[in-house]
Structure formats: C-alpha cells, structure tokens
C-alpha cells in the first residue's frame, strides 16, 4: 500500500451556518421539532431567515466540521464539497482553507447559490437546523480528484449529502477509488431524517461491504436496524460492518470492531454546555484522527470524547487552550 498524503478526506455538504438563539415558543410557532433537521426550499429559507433574531454567519456543514476538527488535532485533512461562485462560496472556501483543510473543489458558475444552514439554539443548548441545500447538492463525480482520494487513509462520507442522486453517484465512485487504493471508507448516518426515506438503500450499501466504519447515535442506529431496543439494534448493525461507533448521550459511546467491544463515559464539558452544534462531528473527528494515527479503538474513543467536549461549536471555533495538548495529556 502506498503512503498517504491525507489522514481523512471528507465528502459532504458545503454550507454556511447562520446561528441565532431562540426560545422554545419560537420553534412551536414555526412548527419545528427541537433537535431535528429539516430541508428548506429557497422561499422557506428566505422566510425563516427574516424571522430569526440577531445571527452570526460562519462556514459549516457536518463533514466539514469533522475534517476541520481533524486538522485542529494536528491531522492532515481534506474536503470535497460544492459551492457556487458567489459571496458565501468565497467565505466557505476561505474559512476551511484557513483552518488547514485542503479544499480543491471548483466553484460552480451556474446553478443554485451556495447552501446555508439556519441554526436555532434554545436555552437548553439544543440546536434545531433548517437547511437549504443549494449548490451543495449539485456535486457530481466530475468534481472529484481521484489522486486526492487515493492519497487519503480514510474517506469519510455524510448521509446528509448522500440522499441526493448526483452526490450519491459521486460518493459511490469515490468509495470505489478508495477501496481500489486499499483505503478505508467511513460513513456517518447524520440524522434520522436521512434514514427514514432511504433505509433500504443504506442497508444495501452496508450489506455490500462498502463501509468499513459506521458512525451514528443510538437513535440513528435504531432507525437503520429498524429495531426498537438499543443494544439489539447495535448488535444487528455490528454484524454487518467491521467497525461501528455509536454515541449515546450521557451514557457515553461504544465501538464494536469485529465483535470486540470498547466503551467510554461522557467526557467533561469544560464550563458547561452552551451549544451542542457540531459535538457529534467533533467526536467523529477525534475518533477518525486516532484511527488514522494507528491508535487503538479505546484510544480513538477517548480522543473523540475529548474533542466533542472541548469543541462544541461550528468548525470556525477554536477550543480553549490547545486541543492537541489536551489529547496528549488525557488520551
């Protein structure tokens, strides 16, 4: 196997996050389910944005958060995602490159504008997301750089983007290139909404052996397995994937690698949770970083827990202190 140039290369939504605080009553007025993610059309995104309070705009996207976390840990990271040739597209490209992530995808001069995610954060730190996909879901296989894929130890894919036909075809091609080069493919289930409409296709992908590492929270694993009991659902999926990683909120996280189990309790949350946006993404970043560095599953879980606890925000944020030092001291 040839040497790798990147530890993790992700393919995912290229979005700009628009974040604002909101009371529970506002979610009720808008018909939003707390903690969920809904997809908006252009008109819906315009209307909700107009009703949001004071907001801040930063580059985001689930898999983009993850590779930015890998870079913050000292890893070599790359990202593939589609933006438009517009102001938000320029912001996204600048931000992710400034964080040390390789971003080579050309901006599209035609088609939809750059996507954005409207995030409402309630006093209990839960985030409710309303996403306008925009140019992000116009990604196609022609935008891929095969050498970039071959040069990454782990290819990481997100279900948010996988739902659309064009990006799914690009991901399938990327998986083939990665496996031909002897690389590993990781997939995150992202959200129950991604599973509900595509469970059969996702299970077919899992059962085909296309996935080497599968990430999900306990509710997503239940939905994928179509089993109500958490432990039974985890066992059902673990029988089909070489390595399954499941986050379980206050119960911590568990990883099952070819029948061998490892678990970790929830890590400390510094001065307290302010915003859970990106916590799962950063957990994945820590775990993937550990795996790319040849660490054990137990160590990778520990790094993931530290990263999630210390970096609870969009990928433009920096943790208090040096995250690399925290991992070196605690992992």
258-314: pLDDT as tens digits:
999 999 986 543 444 444 446 789 999 999 999 999 999 999 999 998 888 765 444
Q: How many CB atoms lie within 10 A of CB 272?
A: 7
The pLDDT value given to residue 59: 84
Cα–Cα nearest to 247, from 229, 227, 226, 267: 267
pLDDT tens track for 49-62: 889 989 888 888 99
Cα-only R_g, the chain: 18
Q: What percentage of residues in the chain have a pLDDT greater than 90?
A: 73
Range scoring the smallest mean pLDDT among 6-10, 123-127, 239-243, 265-269:
265-269
Bridge partners for 79 per DSSP:
10, 103
The pLDDT value given to residue 45: 87
Q: What is the dihedral of CA 105, 109, 111, 115, to 10 degrees?
A: 50
Question: Measured over all CA atoms, what is the biggest interatomic distance in the chain, rounded to whole angstroms?
Answer: 56
The pLDDT value given to residue 39: 85
Give the span between the Cα atoms of 278 and 72, in whole angstroms.
14
- Residue 17's Cα: distance from chain center in Å? 14
The pLDDT value given to residue 271: 40
The pLDDT value given to residue 330: 58
The pLDDT value given to residue 269: 39
pLDDT tens track for 208-255: 999 999 999 999 999 999 999 999 999 999 999 999 999 998 788 999
The pLDDT value given to residue 58: 83
pTM for the whole thing?
Answer: 0.87
Give the span between the Cα atoms of 159 and 193, in whole angstroms.
10
Give the span between the Cα atoms of 37 and 230, in whole angstroms.
22
Q: Is pLDDT at 205 greater than 70 in this prediction?
A: yes
Mean pLDDT, the chain, whole residue set = 89
């Amino acid at each position: 196997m040839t040497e790798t140039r990147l530890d993790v290369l992700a393919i995912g939504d290229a979005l700009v996050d628009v974040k604002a605080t909101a009371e529970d009553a506002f979610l009720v007025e808008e018909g939003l389910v707390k903690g969920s993610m809904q997809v908006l059309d252009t008109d819906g995104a315009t209307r909700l944005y107009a009703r949001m309070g004071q907001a801040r705009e930063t580059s985001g996207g689930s898999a983009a958060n993850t590779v930015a976390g890998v870079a913050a840990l000292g890893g070599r990271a790359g990202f593939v995602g589609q933006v438009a040739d517009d102001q938000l597209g320029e912001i996204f490209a600048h931000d992710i490159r400034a964080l040390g992530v390789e971003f080579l995808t050309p901006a599209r001069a035609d088609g939809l504008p750059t996507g954005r995610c409207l995030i409402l954060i309630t006093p209990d730190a839960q985030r409710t997301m309303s996403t306008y996909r925009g140019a992000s879901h116009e990604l196609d296989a022609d935008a891929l750089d095969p050498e970039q894929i071959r040069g990454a130890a782990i290819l990481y894919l997100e279900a948010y983007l996988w739902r659309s036909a064009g990006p799914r075809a690009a991901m399938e091609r990327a998986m083939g290139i990665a496996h031909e080069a002897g690389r590993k493919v990781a997939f995150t289930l992202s959200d129950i909404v991604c599973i509900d409409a595509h469970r059969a296709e996702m299970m077919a992908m899992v059962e085909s052996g296309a996935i080497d590492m599968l990430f999900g929270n306990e509710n997503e694993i239940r939905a994928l397995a179509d089993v109500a009991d958490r432990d039974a659902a985890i066992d059902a999926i673990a029988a089909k994937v070489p390595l399954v990683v499941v986050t379980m909120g206050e119960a911590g996280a568990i990883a099952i690698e070819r029948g061998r189990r490892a678990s970790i309790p929830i890590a400390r949350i510094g001065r307290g949770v302010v915003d859970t946006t990106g916590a799962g993404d950063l957990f994945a970043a820590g775990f993937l970083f550990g795996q790319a560095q040849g660490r054990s599953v137990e160590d990778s879980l520990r790094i993931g827990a530290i990263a999630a606890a210390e970096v609870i925000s969009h990928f433009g944020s920096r943790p208090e202190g040096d995250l690399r030092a925290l991992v070196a001291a605690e992992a």
